């Protein structure tokens, strides 16, 4: 029996509801494939602030470092929105990513045929879309110095963040994108704002130079404003999108809507070594928290990404992804992906349906 230590970070809002479903699914798949998961739960975000005063207690980072993979749900909520920056739930998540050195965030947006009608875009625009956003995750304007709210000589306040990348930071995420594209459609579109920003000029120069090592990859560059437009105009032109931290955050939410709902999109956050963090692209959805309305599929698909990218268990990952397709084929839908004639289910019932589908495989 293969034994894996998995840290669970349910976090806030809908986090605990969707995490419970993913854990049940993992237990069933584990039993079927003789994998044993040792789950340890730890605190992050608002839940950690309430219990310990810190959004990322040192104990949490330690437990994550000592595990084989981390499954995270979501953090944040109105309750903590007015705390000072260093005490906000989001600061805990950023600390986790930088603390574990997770510079590469893979966010796949693939339209499932069953959900074409749930997309807000026309069938012919989204049919066949299969994009991988490779988002840089530990640099850029999220982390650059100086940052803060300062007082100017005239006594006015001035908010400052700094968008900065070093050559080595650009190169390592560039390599991830090129290698990702090699296993997919062979095309990388690097998205930047090189017409205005020096940091983007360096980004574009380095990525262009790096492309020499990947002669089988077709590299293109696009400005981020155009990329936002092209994503909704003709998303099928994209295979792998390589971009910086902030642009990737924004573009991956836009890409999510191509697939019908942000409740469907998983992600993998990876470093050079050590445990990866696997988390949905969406947040804690405070507007529907505690109502059993959340779509657990992004969380469940994040568990599948954990098996595939974090634990090298592709068969187990396939099994979970097949079960997701099966329940969608049956017409099971949560509210966010509901359309005419389908069965409206809550979060828990969607989980039960997934487990049935797994047991019938």
Active site residue 318: no
C-beta closer to ligand IPM: residue 24 or 249 = 249
* SS3 readout for 235-299: HHHCCEEEECHHHHHHHHHHHHHHCCCHHHCEEEEECCCCCEEEEECCCCCCCCCCCCCCCCHHH
Q: Across the chain, where does the E strand assignment appear?
A: 2-11, 35-41, 69-74, 104-110, 130-136, 144-151, 157-162, 187-192, 218-223, 240-243, 266-270, 276-280, 332-333, 343-344
Which of 93, 207, 257, 277 binds ligand IPM (CB under 6 A)? It is 93
Contact 273, 103 (CB under 8 A): no
Write each residue from 299 to 338 as x if it is in contact with ligand NAD (CB under 6 A), else as -, in one continuous string.
-------------------------------------x--
Does residue 7 interact with ligand NAD by CB under 6 A?
no
Contact 55, 88 (CB under 8 A): yes
Q: Which of 311, 344, 331 is nearest to 38 (CA)?
A: 311
Which of 127, 205, 287, 359 binds ligand NAD (CB under 6 A)? It is 287
Write each residue from 298 to 337 as x if it is in contact with Mn ion (CB under 5 A), else as -, in one continuous string.
----------------------------------------
Which of 136, 249, 321, 332 binds ligand IPM (CB under 6 A)? It is 249
Collapse the DSSP code of 201 into the 3-class scheme (helix H, G, I; strand E, B; otherwise coil) and give the result.
helix
Does residue 227 interact with ligand NAD by CB under 6 A?
no
C-beta closer to ligand IPM: residue 28 or 106 = 106
Active site residue 326: no
Write each residue from 115 to 144 as x if it is in contact with ligand NAD (CB under 6 A), else as -, in one continuous string.
------------------------------
Q: Kindly state the number of chain residues that form the binding site for ligand IPM, as judged by CB under 6 A.
A: 7
CA 152 to chain centroid, in Å, comes to 38
Quote the CA–CA distance of 23 and 29 in Å, as a whole number. 10
User: Which residues of the chain form contacts with ligand IPM (CB under 6 A)?
Assistant: 76, 90, 93-94, 249, 281, 283
Which residues carry out catalysis? 142, 193, 225, 249, 253
Binding site for ligand NAD (CB under 6 A): 14, 74-77, 90, 93, 262-263, 279, 282-288, 294-295, 298, 336
């Amino acid at each position: 029996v293969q034994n894996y230590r998995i840290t669970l970070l349910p976090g806030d809002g809908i986090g605990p509801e969707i995490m419970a479903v993913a854990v049940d699914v993992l237990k069933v798949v584990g039993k079927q494939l003789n994998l044993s998961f040792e789950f340890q739960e730890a605190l992050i975000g608002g839940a950690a602030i309430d219990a310990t005063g810190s959004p990322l207690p040192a104990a949490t980072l330690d437990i994550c470092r000592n595990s084989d993979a981390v499954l995270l749900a979501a953090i944040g909520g109105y309750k903590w929105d007015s705390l000072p920056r260093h005490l906000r739930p989001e600061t805990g998540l950023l600390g986790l990513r930088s603390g574990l050195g997770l510079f590469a965030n893979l966010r796949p947006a693939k339209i499932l045929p069953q959900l074409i009608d749930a997309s807000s875009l026309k069938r012919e625009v989204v049919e066949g879309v299969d994009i991988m956003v490779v988002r840089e995750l530990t640099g850029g304007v999220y982390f650059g110095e100086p940052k803060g709210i300062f007082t100017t000589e005239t006594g006015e306040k001035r908010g400052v963040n700094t968008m900065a990348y070093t050559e080595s930071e650009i190169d390592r995420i560039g390599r991830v994108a090129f290698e990702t594209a090699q296993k997919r459609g062979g095309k990388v579109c690097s998205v930047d704002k090189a017409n205005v920003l020096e940091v983007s000029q360096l980004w574009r120069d380095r990525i262009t130079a790096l492309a020499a090592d990947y002669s089988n990859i077709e590299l293109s560059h696009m400005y981020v404003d155009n990329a936002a437009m092209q994503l909704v105009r003709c998303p099928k032109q994209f295979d792998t999108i390589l971009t910086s931290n902030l642009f990737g955050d924004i573009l991956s939410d836009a890409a999510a809507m191509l697939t019908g709902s942000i409740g469907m999109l998983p992600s993998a956050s990876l470093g050079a070594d050590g445990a990866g963090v696997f988390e949905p692209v969406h947040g804690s959805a405070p507007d529907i928290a505690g109502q059993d309305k959340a779509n657990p599929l992004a969380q469940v698909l994040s568990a599948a990404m954990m098996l595939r990218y974090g634990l090298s268990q592709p068969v187990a990952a396939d099994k979970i992804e097949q079960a997701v397709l099966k329940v969608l084929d049956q017409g099971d839908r949560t509210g966010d992906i509901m359309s005419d004639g389908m069965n409206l289910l809550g979060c828990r019932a969607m989980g039960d349906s997934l487990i049935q589908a797994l047991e019938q495989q």
